[in-house]
Amino acid sequence: MSEYKIIKGFKIQTVAADPSTDLGQVWYNSTTAVLKYNAATPSSAVWASGGALNTARYELGSAGTQGATLAFGGDIPGGHTANSEEYNGTSWAEGNNLGTSRYYLRGAGTQTAGLGFAGYIYPGSWKNNTEEYDGTSWSPQNNMGTARRSPGSGGTQTAGLAFGGNKSPGGALSNDTEEYGGASWTAGNNLNTARVYLGGAGTQAAGLAFGGFTDANVAVTEEYDGTSWANSNNMNTTRARVAGAGIQTSAIAFGGLTPASPAYTGVTEQYDGTSWANSTSLTTARRSAGGAGTTVAGIAFGGNAPPHSTATEEFTGANVPLVKTVEID
Amino acid sequence: MAKKYQYLVAENWGKGFIEINDSIKFTISGFPGDVWRVPVHDKHANLWINKVLGVIKTKNEAQAIVDALVETAQNNYDAQSDAYKARHDRPTDIPLEE
């Protein structure tokens, strides 16, 4: 301790919560009783590996944050699954299963208040099932107005948002928007571009739709204001089966399928409420992954690389301090 | 043409396999079959290879590992019904760079 004072000219601070720090700064967190330091502040965003899913899957439902994530349902080798898993920032643990096994479903909310909706079961069964997760188990709720698969999603368990996808008959493209109020779904105004396999982020009152597939992959971006959709600037990389995280004014899009070869992409882009800028790519290119979190702390999991993937990657935004704990043996 | 990358095989054990500090210092790209690509002649990349107990592969060896998995996925796709194919994309080849 005296050495640190000699070097820095002051004692190590004792604080109740981690402070905003400069590179190299050391402090003692009295709440968690650990000595910490700012090991790096990367100027660019980075992806790092996280714990592997127990069940490899893609086209799954997702919700939550980087440190408390929820993965459920999806496409597994040979079919679909009702399996649900929780991530604690380090590893995935099994949770109770969905009531209705399916793939091509979507999610919203948090790990302790999650929402799963839509989906598909081969052959020809588009799903309008809605289920709520309370941190322990799933319970069925009122169905969506339009059964569909692979829509975009956003919001929370009590204020959810679903948009686009495809539907019966024959997988017709959908531009339908629906808002979930915690008990039932109501119709909103349509997307401008009907499409499936699109990415979603944001809230029910400030949603974001990006990418997707019409009769080809598209880069289209639309913003929802709680009433209607307005076109915004396109993504830089045209793609479908893209995952996302964040809010309407600060979102990330990652992975997907591009028209170019190789078709699997790891490209990550960040949206600032107006336009997209390229960020640091996923380590492993993949499509149809789960996504959750924010542009400060995001997470990607599962997907198809190929084959079905268990890989988790954690996103740390640019200029976010890397805080480490001093380990004393 | 000077070689830009080196390839290795290493099992991704999850948290800690690729740390933020690794990603800050050099670019790691992952491919099917636990194949990884990092810059050649890079001190930090070489230290990471040691950390993850990576086994160095030539580009052709790495490509063969990736191709085998992609081919399996393509064969599985080709054996499916037309209805399945209408809903899924055929897995595409993943060419590795020198």
Inter-chain contact A47–B89, Cβ cutoff 8 Å?
Answer: no
Q: Which of residues 196 through 215 in chain A touch B, CB cutoff 8 A? A: none
Q: Which has the closest alpha carbon to A39: A246, A316, A294, A311?
A: A316
Give the bridge partners for A28, in sequence order.
A14, A35
Would you call A58 an interface residue with chain B, using a CB distance cutoff of 8 Å? no
pLDDT at A25 > cutoff 80:
yes
Place of tokens 């024959």: A170
Q: What angle do CA A309, A140, B83 make, to 5 degrees?
A: 50
Would you call B75 an interface residue with chain A, using a CB distance cutoff of 8 Å? no
pLDDT at A2 > cutoff 60:
no
pLDDT at A255 > cutoff 90:
yes
pLDDT at A65 > cutoff 90:
yes
Summarised one tens digit per residue, pLDDT across range A72-118 is 999 999 899 999 999 999 999 999 999 999 999 999 999 999 999 99
Inter-chain contact A48–B84, Cβ cutoff 8 Å?
Answer: no
d(CA A79, CA A96): 19
d(CA A244, CA A257): 14
Would you call A4 an interface residue with chain B, using a CB distance cutoff of 8 Å? no
SS3 assignment, position A2: helix
More confidently predicted of A183 and A327: A183
d(CA A82, CA A65): 21
* pLDDT computed for residue A4 by the predictor: 72
Name the CATH superfamily housing domain A46-316.
Answer: Kelch-type beta propeller (2.120.10.80)
Would you call A322 an interface residue with chain B, using a CB distance cutoff of 8 Å? yes
CA distance readout (Å), A204 to A108, A161, A292, B40: 10, 5, 16, 47
Q: Which has the closest alpha carbon to A107: A12, A6, A252, A244?
A: A244
Q: Which of residues 260 through 289 in chain A touch B, CB cutoff 8 A? A: 261-264, 266, 280-281, 283-285
Which residue of B lies nearest to A307 if distances are taken between CA atoms?
B73
In sequence order, the 6+-apart residues with CB closer than 8 A to the CB of A237 are A219, A256, A258, A265, A267, A269, A278
* pLDDT computed for residue A261 by the predictor: 67
d(CA A98, CA A60): 12
Gyration radius (Cα) of chain A, Å: 20
Burial class (CB in 10 A: 0-12, 13-18, 19+), B27: middle
Residue B1's pLDDT band, with cuts at 50, 70 and 90, is: low
Across chain A, what does the average pLDDT equal?
94
**A–B interface: beta-carbon pairs under 8 A:** 85
**Domain layout of chain B by residue ranges:** 5-87
Q: What's the first-to-final CA gap in chain A, in angstroms?
A: 17
Q: Which of A20-24, A36-40, A288-292, B78-82 has the lowest mean pLDDT?
A: A20-24
ipTM of model: 0.93
Would you call B21 an interface residue with chain A, using a CB distance cutoff of 8 Å? yes
* pLDDT computed for residue B81 by the predictor: 86
* pLDDT computed for residue A112 by the predictor: 98
d(CA A19, CA A27): 8
Would you call B69 an interface residue with chain A, using a CB distance cutoff of 8 Å? yes
Nearest CB to A305 within list B16, B24, B32: B32
Which residue of A lies nearest to B29 if distances are taken between CA atoms?
A283
Would you call B43 an interface residue with chain A, using a CB distance cutoff of 8 Å? no
Pairing outcome for strands A312-316 and A297-301: antiparallel
* pLDDT computed for residue A235 by the predictor: 98
- Residue pair A202/A247 in contact by the 8 Å Cβ criterion: yes
- Residue pair B94/B66 in contact by the 8 Å Cβ criterion: yes
Chain A residues touching residue B86 (CB < 8 angstroms) = 171
* pLDDT computed for residue A262 by the predictor: 57
Q: What's the first-to-final CA gap in chain B, in angstroms?
A: 9
SS3 assignment, position B56: strand
* pLDDT computed for residue A167 by the predictor: 96
In sequence order, the 6+-apart residues with CB closer than 8 A to the CB of A159 are A179, A180, A181, A182, A203, A204, A205
pLDDT at A234 > cutoff 60:
yes
* pLDDT computed for residue A263 by the predictor: 87
Inter-chain contact B20–A46, Cβ cutoff 8 Å?
Answer: yes
**Domain layout of chain A by residue ranges:** 2-40, 46-316
Would you call B58 an interface residue with chain A, using a CB distance cutoff of 8 Å? no
